[in-house]
Structure 1
Amino acid sequence: MSVSVVGKTAGPIGFGLMGLSRPPQLPYDEASKVMKAALDRGANFWNGAQFYGPPTANSLHLLNHYFTAYPEDSKRVILSVKGAFSIAGPDNSPAGIRKSVDSCLEVLDGKVFLDIFLPARIDPQVPIEETVRALAEYVKAGKIGGYGLSECSAESIQRAHAVHPVSAVEIELSLFSTHTLSNGVAQACSELKIPMIAYSPLSRGFLTGQINKLDDIPETDSRRRFPRFQPDVFDLNIKLVKKVEQVAKRTGHTMPQVAIAWIIAQTKKTNNPVIPIPGCTTVARVDENLTQVSLDEHDVNELSQLVENMTVYGDRYPEPFKKYMNL
């Protein structure tokens, strides 16, 4: 199964660069081995961001390094990058968009084409139409292949698409975060034939099988600040993990494989491409995450029913970020 994104063919599973880009960072040559393994396994939709990593060593610098080493791979990858966002929040003004896109292009240095640029969040201070018109200038000039939206509402998708076609919508989607399937976003994407890119498909590590107790997450890990990882709800959410794990064991697959397969199955249910973008830092995890497993209809329905009947405790983001969700 493959899908078309900005005129290129993407595999059913993509690859997220966040884990390779944020501290503690792997040496670039080691990170490149993981990226090469992902691409060779068919994960040719790559997702990065200006804010994945420090200003002088973020995912764009890693991409520059990779495509300097493997220039022949530049035509194989569909590259999606988020920007126009900082600790102060989004800046989706035309000036903010131009500054961010120009910075991305400067760091990439022509080593690889920027297929999709996405403002990381909708800016409540700027009409979406103004943002899209600025992005459309770059598309029409051939500097980027298209633009996308991230963490947005159905209304924003529709308004943006009316100005210039949206290439992709990046949303959080996992067994622990299914809001997109019921809040109108999936429906809007289906109606407009916009592929959905599912970030955090393994629920920020809950569904990797590597987290069983809070101490498994380092004190310095940013997830310690997220509501679902707080001590008062962590064990309740782990109980839900164990239920998913039981289904995985019955199918004979690992929990990450089953969680990713369930997301891919939403392609059929929504009648629209859904591409999960798991990230990892080892070749072994690449092999596990990108091993496609086939869930029959009974398995998919069992997982969907489990999701429908369970309560995930805690919001998806800490309080300061909630004002930029689903805008």
Structure 2
Amino acid sequence: MAFRTIKLGGTASDVTVAPVAHGLMMMTWTPNPISDEQAFEAIKAGVDALPPGTKAFLNSGEFYAMDWGTANLKLLSRFFAKYPDYADKTFLSVKGGVRNGGPDGSMECLRASVDNIQNALGPNKKLDLFEPARIDRKTPLETIMNNLVTLVKEGKFSHIGLSECNAVTLRKANEIYPITAAEIEVSPWSYDDNQKAVIDTARELNITVVAYSPLGRGYLTGQIKSTNDLPENDIRRNLTRFKEDNFKANWAIVEGLNAIAEKKGVTTAQLSLAWVASLGQHMLPLPGSSKSSRTLENLKAGNIQLTPEESKAIHEVITANPTVGDRYFGSDEGAHLWG
């Protein structure tokens, strides 16, 4: 099957990637991490399905583990040690720059973070794109950007991304140095004024929007019927929208999407991914996957074209069923959103 491809933005505008990225977080940030064999198969499946010259966009984090350690990066290190020829077939984005539980844009923290990431990755894969996981509001944006540019010029990584930034911040940062990607949450239950502003600004400035949690952390797939379906220590149990009353109140969104998906002959997950992708040529949905079959299912969603009628129907589902509960823990402040 020939997959549609997209070009990344900013300084990576010569890089062609698959239309759906691969989030690796839940391979390790879970009470029961999967085996290397299963993880490697999930990653390889997405790479092997692509035509020559097209890279798989992989997304990791310096702290993607239950103990906030580098387990995710060490998993990747083992993968690239076993399959060194896959290094050139993948584009790796990693979030970092967190200290003492919050974002830190100082040179000291950013340099230590980037070095820690590369040390954990090992010698077989170079960090392609680095993102401060959140915007440090205590440090001037110009200082943060100049620190990142210095690290790029030192060859620590090749491209700069921002995560959980607002549209004004994105524009100001891009004036200092071309931003390749803005990672924000976008899905049928997370599509408000902030998302729309970042998407519009990124389109104007040729910046890729890496849309994380496009399936509502699994909720929008319809496979999780209640909070009780989540493992006991699953981090989603702490999120506002997964509290039982909110969980039930938002179910109408799933039912509405499911009806459209059934009519089109695709899964509800694929419909959600296709809708995120339909918001612009610069949109890159970032679902997580720990199984090869799911990786391929997600990838196929990048080829699904929505008709104007289907897009209108999805819009009607979203507007008729405003999401109950915020995106994280009851207060955006603690999650450092829209910096």
Indicate the larger mover: 243-252 or 34-43: 34-43
User: After superposition, what is the alpha-carbon deviation per residue over 1:109-166, rounded to whole angstroms, capped at 9, x for unaligned?
Assistant: 2311211100000011111111111111121223211110001111111111111111
SS at match of 2:279: helix
Q: Is the contact made by 1:181 and 1:187 (CA closer than 8 Å) also made in structure 2? A: no
Residue 250 to residue 49, structure 1, CA distance change in 2 (3 Å): same
Corresponding position of 1:198: 211
In structure 1, what is the Cα distance between the partners aligned to 2:216 and 2:132?
A: 22
Q: Does 1:283 align with 2:296?
A: no
Within 5 Å, which residues of 2 pair with 1:291-306?
291-292=300-301, 293-306=304-317
**Deviation for aligned residue 1:4:** 2.2
In structure 2, what is the Cα distance between the partners aligned to 1:258 and 1:197?
A: 17
Corresponding position of 1:9: 16
In structure 2, what is the Cα distance between the partners aligned to 1:145 and 1:29?
A: 29
Q: How many residues align?
A: 323
Corresponding position of 1:274: 283
User: After superposition, what is the alpha-carbon deviation per residue over 1:82-118, rounded to whole angstroms, capped at 9, x for unaligned?
Assistant: 0012562111112111111111111122311211100
- Percent identity reads 33
Structure 1, unmatched stretches of 5+, are none
User: TM-score by structure 1 length?
Assistant: 0.94
Structure 2, unmatched stretches of 5+, are none
Indicate the larger mover: 73-82 or 172-181: 172-181
Q: Is the contact made by 1:90 and 1:120 (CA closer than 8 Å) also made in structure 2? A: yes
Q: Does 1:127 align with 2:135?
A: no
User: After superposition, what is the alpha-carbon deviation per residue over 1:2-54, rounded to whole angstroms, capped at 9, x for unaligned?
Assistant: 22221311111110001112121112232111111122233700000011114
Within 5 Å, which residues of 2 pair with 1:104-115?
104-115=117-128
Residue 252 to residue 181, structure 1, CA distance change in 2 (3 Å): farther
Q: Is the contact made by 2:97 and 2:103 (CA closer than 8 Å) also made in structure 1? A: yes
Within 5 Å, which residues of 2 pair with 1:11-90?
11-23=18-30, 24-42=32-50, 44-53=56-65, 54=67, 56-86=69-99, 88-90=101-103
Q: Is the contact made by 1:45 and 1:79 (CA closer than 8 Å) also made in structure 2? A: yes
Q: Which amino acid aligns with 2:205?
A: L
SS at match of 1:290: helix
Structure 1 segments (4+ residues) deviating >4 Å: 180-183
SS at match of 1:25: coil
The CA RMSD over aligned residues, in Å, is 1.7
SS at match of 2:300: coil
User: TM-score by structure 2 length?
Assistant: 0.91
